[in-house]
């Protein structure tokens, strides 16, 4: 983490304050078997990355072996601000600007080396419904895979920008009355995909789905190239982060002061669903026994069955077997970029008492709006319904 500040007295009445910062951090989750060539040692075939980790091996009745996932992220953040203070007569004027840029670059695989299940039914008495015969380890020794799953490499690069500017006047109207007047403008552009081959998607409820007879509701993909929108963002920006500020301090007498304040403020949108919008850019596949484990999904020494290589930049997501396994997340166009809003107001009275004591009574309130982005599961959505979840 790096920090730099510079205070410059332009004149006896004018002060400029500049600050800049940069954070850079990296994290990783992996086991001691990471990158040890276990795929070649064990003869694992046709998995996305057989040598990255020890495969996940699960046997009925026994503790599992290996680890099915690895991953991490490398992240960067920049910030810059400039504040100018100018005093003239009864006015203390302040002006400022702030810019922030954040990157989240997440990577990894779940079951990149493969996750394999060996159920007891692979070696049980034929047609046994009691689940008491058979042995998961014996099924493993036979290489009789009752279930398996793989995932290709995932890389998600999200970027967020934040701009803010303000003007403020601390005005000493009279000897008893001081006003604090200000306005702040904040703007958070839409989340953009990073400068990498991968990207992200979003659900568009107005786009005809070719895999569902033209019914509305299909996926769109950010970025440039075939099957993409040509843009780095998939929802519109919200440009109305205008925040007025008002403060008042009034001395009723030498021992009593009344203070009033009210403001509107916003929080920047730094994350609108995390790294969940990657369907189509990775492959997730699974296999299971077709007849309740009477026959295997496949045999270990034969390797994982063939599977298509991603990306699958197709709008008809769930209408294609074996391509998408989860409902697509949805950044709603009117809420995804909407800044969380806060209304604050207060009223306080202070009274000086004997013996160097002060009594104060006050009321403070905060009310929030649009505090989270609502992700709607369209599988449970009905047009016109007000109860979408």
Q: What's the pLDDT tens digit per position in 353-375?
A: 998 899 999 999 999 987 764 44
Rounded to whole angstroms, how far apart are CA atoms 103 and 95? Answer: 28
Is the alpha carbon torsion for 275, 280, 283, 289 positive or negative? Answer: positive
- Residue 118's DSSP bridge partners are 59
Least confident residue range of 8-12, 242-246, 268-272, 302-306:
268-272
Rounded to whole angstroms, how far apart are CA atoms 267 and 366? Answer: 14
CA-based nearest residue to 123, from 43, 57, 60: 60
Helix, strand counts (H, E) of the chain: 2, 19
> Of all residues in the chain, what percent carry a pLDDT higher than 70?
87
Residue 145 pLDDT greater than 60, yes or no = yes
Rounded to whole angstroms, how far apart are CA atoms 230 and 232? Answer: 7
How buried is 222 (Cβ within 10 angstroms: 0-12 exposed, 13-18 middle, 19+ buried)?
Answer: buried
Rounded to whole angstroms, how far apart are CA atoms 73 and 155? Answer: 9
What is the band of 324 on the pLDDT scale with cuts at 50, 70, 90? Answer: low
How many residues can be counted in the chain? 389
Average pLDDT rounded to a whole number, residues 299-311: 90
| Conformational region of residue 71, where left means phi above 0, alpha means psi within -120 to 50, and beta covers everything else | left
CA-based nearest residue to 90, from 181, 177, 173: 173
94 vs 236, which has greater pLDDT?
94
38 vs 251, which has greater pLDDT?
251
Strand ranges, E, within the chain: 2-11, 14-29, 56-59, 69-88, 91-110, 115-118, 144-145, 147-151, 154-172, 177-188, 192-193, 201-208, 216-221, 238-253, 256-266, 284-288, 298-299, 341-353, 357-369
Rounded to whole angstroms, how far apart are CA atoms 353 and 358? Answer: 5
Residue 276 pLDDT greater than 70, yes or no = no
Token pair, residue 167, equals: 């003007």
Average pLDDT rounded to a whole number, residues 102-129: 84
Rounded to whole angstroms, how far apart are CA atoms 214 and 41? Answer: 49
Least confident residue range of 150-154, 269-273, 294-298:
269-273
Task: Read off the pTM.
Answer: 0.77
Is the alpha carbon torsion for 348, 349, 354, 356 positive or negative? Answer: positive
């Amino acid at each position: 983490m790096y920090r730099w500040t510079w205070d410059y007295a332009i004149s006896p009445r004018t002060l400029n304050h500049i600050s800049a910062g940069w954070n850079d951090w990296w994290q990783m989750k992996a086991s001691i078997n990471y990158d040890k060539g276990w795929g070649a040692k064990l003869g694992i075939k046709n998995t996305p990355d057989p040598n990255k980790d020890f495969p996940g091996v699960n046997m009925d009745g026994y503790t599992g072996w290996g680890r099915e996932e690895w991953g991490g992220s490398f992240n960067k953040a920049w910030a810059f601000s400039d504040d100018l203070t100018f005093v003239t007569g009864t006015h203390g004027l302040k002006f400022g600007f702030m810019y922030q840029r954040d990157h989240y670059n997440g990577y990894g695989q779940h079951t990149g080396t493969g996750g394999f299940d060996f159920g007891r039914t692979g070696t049980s008495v034929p047609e046994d419904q009691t689940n008491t015969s058979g042995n998961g380890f014996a099924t493993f020794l036979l290489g009789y895979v009752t279930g398996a799953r793989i995932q290709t490499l995932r890389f998600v690069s999200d970027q967020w920008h934040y701009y803010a500017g303000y003007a403020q006047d601390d005005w000493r109207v009279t000897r008893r009355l001081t006003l604090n007047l200000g306005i702040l403008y904040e703007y958070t552009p839409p989340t953009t995909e990073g400068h990498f081959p991968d990207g992200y998607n979003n659900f568009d409820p107005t786009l005809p789905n070719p895999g569902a007879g033209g019914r509305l509701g299909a996926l769109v993909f950010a970025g440039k190239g075939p099957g993409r929108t040509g843009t780095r963002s998939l929802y519109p920006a919200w440009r109305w982060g205008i925040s007025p500020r008002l403060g008042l301090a009034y001395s009723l007498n030498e021992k009593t002061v009344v203070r009033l304040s009210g403001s509107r403020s916003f929080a920047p949108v730094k994350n609108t669903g995390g790294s969940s919008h990657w369907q189509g850019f990775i492959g997730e596949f699974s296999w299971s026994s077709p007849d309740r484990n009477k026959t295997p999904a496949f045999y270990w020494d034969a390797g994982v069955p063939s599977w298509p290589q991603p990306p699958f930049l197709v709008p008809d997501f769930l209408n294609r077997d074996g391509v998408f396994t989860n409902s697509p997340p949805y950044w709603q166009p009117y809420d995804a970029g909407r800044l969380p809003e806060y209304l604050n107001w207060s009223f306080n009275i202070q009274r000086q008492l004997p013996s160097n004591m002060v009594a104060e009574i006050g009321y403070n309130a905060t009310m929030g709006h649009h505090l989270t982005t609502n992700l709607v599961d369209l599988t449970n959505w009905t047009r016109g319904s007000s109860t979408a979840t």
